[in-house]
Chains A and B, each alone.
Chain A
Amino acid sequence: MSVVDQAPRFASPVDQRMWSERIPAPWWIFGLILLLLPIVANDFWLFQVLGWTFILGMIGLSLMFLAGYGGMVSLLQMSIAGMAGYMVAILGPSGAANVSLGLSWWIVLPAAFLIAALFATISGALAVRTDGIYTIMITLAIAAAFFYFTRQNYSVFNGYSGFNLVLPPKLFGVNWRDPLPFYYLSLGCAVLCYGAVVYLARAPFGLALQGVRDNPRRMAALGFNVTAHRVAAYALASVFASTGGILLVWQNAQIAPGTIGVSSAIDVLVVAVVGGMRRPLGPFIGAFIYVLLQVFSTDILGFFGFAADRFKLIIGIGFLAIVLFSPDGVLGLWDRWRAGVAARKAATTGGGA
């Protein structure tokens, strides 16, 4: 896949600085803006735009982890997110009281993560025996199969109608579906997932995953079980996808087969590619662009006299442009722009000296 050809660079596993010293100043400012944003942003921005961005970003992040570090392009991540979301609806309380078990959240949440991880592990075990386009095909096939299964199975997945009134638990007396708490909840989860991926990339597992991507045969000759490592990456990535999936169900207060359809599976790929798969920040940027386009497509398209449901056209054109002009996504454009500025600056100072 050309989209992941330019791999993220390894970094030394040993860095003696404190974690807080390793975060550059612009990040602190960016973080502060995100924290204080509710002062100026309205509920629509907090809940619909940014909440959804963080959710989609986390699901995209799980793909970035597999594709960017592991070289495995999986179209399965939306299904894994959906599995976690479905489990929350099935095991916990929902409007479909005849199907949902109504268990309490402290059983439901760990169970949702575990079942989604199991699903990811089994699917991963099937997918890792293939390479490149075949990985995409097999994961797409599993995603499609899961979609049709949820649509036709009524005893567990409640078929076509799915589940409504799936609400987050009122922990600490907070209604987590109110825009402000939901914003902080999804922001917190996104930051945790992002931090986890950044951290893991330089832990032995993450380093080895990148080694497996670059030279699997050599990794085997160093004692690594390449297949096991890849499957474990699927299991690990499922945690990020599941977090996004559970939040998605809470945000929409419902889940139905449409949530995990093939087009949603492809949207995750689009999000990760548009943002850039070389770094964990990419999917969040891609998600933000995607959400903005989707939310404001009515206005934009209406302005040009198109129907609002043509927003996929804009996404598609944007995707094409990115793949053609910047295979490493928007982040790649940004990197090149910064390199250009640095080069010009060096040229100016060099000329002045």
Chain B
Amino acid sequence: MNAPVASSRMNLPGAGNASSGNALELRGITKMFGALAAISDVTLSVKPGERRAVLGSNGAGKTTLFNCITGDFLPTAGLVRFFGEDVTVFPPHERIRRGLRRTYQISSLFTGLTVMDNVYLACCGVSRNRFSLIRPRPDDALVHAAALLVEAVHLTGDKDRLVGELAYGQQRQLEVALALSGAPRFVLFDEPAAGLSPTERADLVAILTSLPAHIGYIIIEHDMDVALRVAESVTMMHNGRIFKEGRSDEIESDPEVQELYLGGGHAHH
């Protein structure tokens, strides 16, 4: 499975040239599961600090795209560059340590652990402390950073509760907090608003829009309303391919998009 990756890289002259200036650059990403192409020939670039929404129906390949970016899957063909560096064959943790973060569509938390410990663990993961055999002191910098993150997602009142006991919406918020640990440069949000109440959605939008300007992200979102408020540009995916790209307002008024996505009879929440 590695061979096609290598050959496709050789087909791209200047692939090692790091001066593209993009936070994230995908070239011809294809992921085959057996004979089925989950995504084919996806080329995409996102500038530092840019906020992009990825829209598309179920099975359009959005989460597969995320998995190729984070390294959970190696793409069958194509190239992934993160801040100019070719990370196509890097294991996930190497990409995370370079400032990439992600959240999961279905919350992926440590339910037997408290809120604070979940975030603390996330802070350890991107620090040199991850192998530390010494317990943190209360004034530990990472504990402090974790407390700030817990506060940022409005969970301070529940910081000592076990994650398994949290309400669904709170777990989604915690999922966001884990993705903001350390010094993130680019975050992939996989449907962070799924299943949230209108109030919680508004809260999430507030958290996303108040992120520091240098942190760019891609957000997968079914709710057009949320997507257009938190992203300045939109990529539409359909059947594993990119089908339209543009500024949020252009996409919103595009008749083709209207027909395929908004008027397509999909029941969204």
Which residues of B are at the interface with A, using a C-beta cutoff of 8 A? 70, 72, 91-93, 96-97, 101-102, 104, 108-110, 112-114, 116-117, 120-122, 124-126, 129-138, 140, 143, 160, 178, 181-182
Contacts and interface: CB of A to CB of B under 8 A. Distances in A.
29 contacts: A10-B110, A12-B117, A14-B137, A14-B140, A203-B134, A203-B136, A204-B129, A204-B130, A204-B131, A204-B134, A204-B135, A205-B130, A207-B124, A208-B125, A210-B110, A210-B113, A214-B112, A215-B110, A218-B108, A220-B93, A221-B92, A221-B101, A223-B93, A223-B130, A224-B93, A225-B91, A225-B93, A226-B93, A236-B133
Contacts of A204: 121, 124, 129-136
Interface residues of A, number: 32
Contacts of B133: 200, 203-205, 236
A134 interface: no
B126 A16 contact: no
Contacts of A266: none
Given A16-B138, A203-B132, A208-B130, A222 B112 contact: no
A16 B143 CA distance: 13
Contacts, number: 110
A20 to B, nearest CB: 15
A125 interface: no
Contacts of B112: 7, 9-10, 214
A203 B135 contact: yes
Given A10-B114, A214-B110, A222-B178, A205 B132 contact: yes
A217 B108 CA distance: 9
B135 A13 contact: yes
A96 interface: no
Given A208-B130, A225-B91, 6 more contacts: A7-B112, A203-B135, A221-B72, A222-B125, A223-B126, A236-B133
A146 to B, nearest CB: 28
A218 to B, nearest CB: 5
A107 B110 CA distance: 44
Contacts of B101: 221
A211 interface: yes
A130 B126 CA distance: 26
A320 B189 CA distance: 48
A199 interface: yes
Nearest to A232: B131
Q: Which among B125, B126, B138 has the greatest number of chain A C-beta atoms within 10 A?
A: B125
A202 B114 CA distance: 12
A210 B121 CA distance: 11
Given A12-B116, A14-B138, A222 B126 contact: yes
A118 interface: no
A279 B182 CA distance: 32
A224 B125 contact: yes
Contacts of A13: 117, 120, 135-136, 143
Contacts of A114: none
A211 B121 contact: yes
A222 B121 contact: yes
Contacts of B134: 203-204
A211 B110 contact: yes
Nearest to A201: B135
Contacts of A229: 130-131
Nearest to A217: B72
Contacts of A215: 108, 110
A313 to B, nearest CB: 38
B96 A221 contact: yes
Contact of B117 (A207, A218, A226, A236): A207
